[in-house]
Amino acid sequence: MRRFSSYGPVDTDLHYYAPRTELVDRACASLLGEDPSRGGHYITIWAPRQRGKSWVMGQAYTILRQAKEFQVVYLSLEQMQAADNRTRVVQLIIENIGKAISIQTEHVHGLDDFDRLFTKEILPKPLILILDEFDSLPADIISGLVWVFRNIYSQRQRQTELLTTEKEYLLHSVALIGVRGVLGIENRSGSPFNVQRSLHIPNLTFAEVEAMFRWYEEESGQPVEQAVIDRLYYETRGQPGLVSWLGELMTETYNSAASQPLSMAVFEQTYGAALHILPNANILNLISKARQQPYNETVLELFKTDAKIPFYYDDPHLNFLYQNGVIDWEQEGVDSYSVKFPNPFVQRRLFHYFARQLVADTGQLYAPFEDLSAIVSPDGLNVPKLLARFERYLRENRAWLLQDAPRKSNLRPYEAVFHFILYHYLTDFLQGFQGRVWPEFPTGNGKIDLLIAYDGATYGLEVKSFTTLPGYRQALLQAAAYGRQLGLAQIALALFVEEVDDANRARYEKPYLDEASGVAVTPVFVQTGK
């Protein structure tokens, strides 16, 4: 019986997988070329980490090897970065290509004569070359190698009258996998590899994720509840590494009753463990990239709730975070794109990480003998009054809470800092009353909803920043829609604002009843300045 696996490339004989036939066919077609007798294309395979780039190209390699008129080499370069020096790195590439197709390479010594390796004096027939983990090489070697590939490609293109087997160079096609450095982002003189086509590897679709679990269901005989598949896809957005990791945990580690259907109870236990206690190398790597300066400033900006950040691939900070899986993009209009977190799981992990780093201690939440009956009573929890108490706490402790907070160029703390403080305050406050709070991230664009459980009841709290009156009115509508989604008759709306006077507080803190949903929204200003 197969199993889910998130460690290294998926083995199609041992593991559950999505065939991704269309992507594999496109890769093969590009490397073979429209007319294989004339030559193939030099392509880059790009996507954030854990999208399945290597697996797709591994499948393409298996298919291409069946074409007897070509030699095909698949070479992973990651281990070569540990070589003693950079000359040795190139020599290792040369030696490994030579071993793969049994040719003599002793007359090719380094980068200066690297192109000789691909001449018809050395190669017996056209070569399709696939180089994985290409961007793990030192930057100057990347630049040098792609210059060679570009010159070979250009030379072959000029020999239009010759077939691919007759050209001076027999490097029929090249695929470079993991090529952030090749695309010109870090090369001040422009990309030397501007002849390439590119193949983007997307996340799995919902249908692909569902098919994997129905495959498991068929082989194991254990039914999988539809709600489990729906929730897993929502939390991962089909990110292949996360899908397989959670699939492995649910079907093995936390599958204590295999004779029963795989239920939401199993998913919740698995998801909680994945969030809090289980190591995952790719998530840890992602967090390590997100906390690096200056990229951490961009990540903190993503938690703002008042406006979306435009996505541009040539922005070096956004490109770095995108390639390392910290962010993704979504299309807003015909010619506009915005930044978002790749999925709720990653956003949640980043939120918890930065919340712990930036708010290590909340101090004294209230006086030992303070009367809190207006907030917590046998009738339930009064969230608006709890927010008012938080504002007082923030005012009284602002100096030390924000002493080491990261700040923007205008010296104001990032909006996310106040969200983290509120989250920790509510968490610590409610623990004393056997309640709990957890964040939800429904859009991936910095929007934060807090769910509160107390005495058997659920309370919703929408968190926004107040910037304009039109934005305020839109926030009321969004909060009402969120309340309706939760099945609540009322919901609180926390509006962070630099400063608000008594007159505007009295005017705009009035409850709003949304006629369409029937949900009552209680807005509460939380002043962050002074």
According to DSSP, the residues that pair with 36 across neighbouring strands are none
Angle between helices 295-302 and 344-358 (to 10 degrees): 110
Quickly state the pLDDT bin for 408 (edges 50, 70, 90): confident
Alpha-carbon distance of 274 to 388, in angstroms, equals 34
Q: Is residue 382 over pLDDT 80?
A: yes
Contact 128, 142 (CB under 8 A): no
What is the 8-class DSSP label of residue 249?
I
> Where is mean pLDDT largest: 73-82, 297-306, 378-387?
378-387
DSSP-derived 3-state class of residue 322: helix
Check residue 302 and give its pLDDT: 86
Long-range contacts of residues 310-314, Cβ cutoff 8 Å, at least 24 apart: 310/336, 310/337, 310/338, 310/339, 311/337, 311/338, 311/339, 312/337, 313/185, 314/185
The pLDDT of residue 442: 67
The answer, yes or no, to whether residue 441 has pLDDT greater than 80, is no
How high is the pLDDT of residue 439? 87
Instruction: Return the SS3 of 446.
Output: coil
Q: What is the pLDDT of residue 360?
A: 82
> What is the pLDDT, as a whole number, of residue 121?
92
- Mean pLDDT for 288-298 is 92
| CA nearest neighbour of 4 among 295, 240, 346, 335 | 240
Per the model's pLDDT, the better-predicted residue between 244 and 305 turns out to be: 244
**208-212, 408-412, 441-445, 475-479: range with highest mean pLDDT:** 208-212
Between these two residues, 46 and 459, which has the higher pLDDT value?
A: 459
Answer positive or negative: Cα dihedral of 407, 413, 418, 424: positive
Between 133 and 233, where is the model more confident? 233
A 10 A CB-CB count for 262 gives: 25
d(CA 189, CA 178): 20
- What is the Cα–Cα distance from 237 to 231, expressed in whole angstroms? 10
pLDDT of residue 204 exceeding 90, the answer is: yes
Tokens of 146: 């792609």
Q: Say what the pLDDT of residue 109 is.
A: 85
For residue 84, what pLDDT band results from cuts at 50, 70 and 90? Answer: low
Sign of CA dihedral 213, 214, 216, 222: positive
Q: Which pLDDT does position 333 carry in this prediction?
A: 83
Q: Across-strand partners of 376?
A: 381
Closest CA relative to residue 498, chosen from 404, 344, 391, 347? 391
273 φ/ψ angles, rounded to the nearest 5 degrees:
-65, -40
Q: How far apart are CA 384 and CA 522, in angstroms?
A: 7
Distance CA 203, CA 342 (A): 10
Distance CA 142, CA 134 (A): 8
Cα 19 from Cα 55, distance rounded (Å): 10
CB of 486 closer than 8 Å to CB of 458:
yes
Q: Contact 246/271 with Cβ under 8 angstroms? A: yes
Q: Is the pLDDT of residue 186 over 50?
A: no
In angstroms, the CA 25 to CA 16 distance is 20
Q: Using CB atoms within 10 A of its CB, is residue 217 exposed (0-12), middle (13-18) or buried (19+)?
A: middle
Say what the pTM is: 0.85
Of 394 and 89, more confident:
394
Please report, rounded to a whole number, the percentage of residues in the chain having pLDDT higher than 70: 94
Residue 261, burial from CB neighbour count under 10 angstroms (0-12, 13-18, 19+): middle
Please give the pLDDT value at position 80: 77
Phi/psi zone of residue 68: left (φ > 0), alpha (ψ -120 to 50 degrees), beta? Answer: alpha
As a whole number, mean pLDDT of residues 306-320 equals 85
pLDDT number for residue 446: 56
* Cα distances (Å, whole numbers) of residue 10 to 51, 240, 401, 402, 509: 12, 10, 47, 47, 55
Residues 474-508 as b/e (b if ≥16 CB within 10 A, e otherwise) read ebbebbbbbbbebebebbbbbbbbeebeeeeeeeb
Residue 359: other Cβ atoms inside 10 A: 21
Tell me what the mean pLDDT of segment 254-283 comes to.
94
Whole-number Å distance between alpha carbons of 30 and 39? 10
Q: At 390, is the pLDDT very low, low, confident or very high (cuts 50, 70, 90)?
A: very high
Average pLDDT over residues 392-412: 88
What phi and psi, each to the nearest 5 degrees, are found at residue 337? -135, 150
Lowest mean pLDDT, pick from 154-163, 407-416, 521-530: 407-416
Q: Confidence class of residue 45 from pLDDT cuts 50, 70 and 90?
A: confident
pLDDT of residue 454: 93
Is a pLDDT exceeding 60 seen at residue 261?
yes
Q: Higher model confidence: residue 367 or residue 211?
A: 211
Token duo for residue 290: 């997100």
Tell me how far apart the alpha carbons of residues 95 and 499 are, in angstroms, rounded to a whole number.
Answer: 67
Residues 6+ apart with CB under 8 A from 203: 51, 237, 238, 239, 240
Edge-to-edge strands, sheet with 512-513: 436-440, 448-454, 457-465, 490-497, 520-527, 512-513
Instruction: Return the higher-pLDDT residue of 410 and 382.
Output: 382
Strands 42-46 and 171-177: parallel
Judged against a pLDDT cut of 60, whether residue 58 lies above it is answered with yes
Q: Pick the closest to residue 70 from 129, 131, 149, 125 (CA basis).
A: 125
Quickly state the pLDDT bin for 200 (edges 50, 70, 90): confident
Among 244-253, 355-364, 384-393, the least confident range: 355-364
Distance CA 426, CA 394 (A): 12
Task: Check residue 185 and give its pLDDT.
Answer: 43
Q: Mind listing the pLDDT tens digit for each residue in 158-180?
A: 998 999 999 999 999 999 998 55
The whole-number average pLDDT for the span 331-344 is: 89
Q: Report DSSP letters for 98-110, one per residue.
A: HHHHT---TT--S
Give alpha helix (H) positions in 402-468: 415-431
In angstroms, how far is CA 215 from the centroid of its own chain? 26
Lowest-confidence pick of 177-191, 356-370, 455-469:
177-191
Which pLDDT score is estimated for 97?
Answer: 93
- In whole angstroms, how large is the CA radius of gyration of the chain? 28
- Greater confidence (145 vs 308) lies with 145
Mean pLDDT of the chain: 89
What single letter denotes the amino acid at residue 445?
A: N
Of the two residues 517 and 227, the one the predictor is more confident about is 227
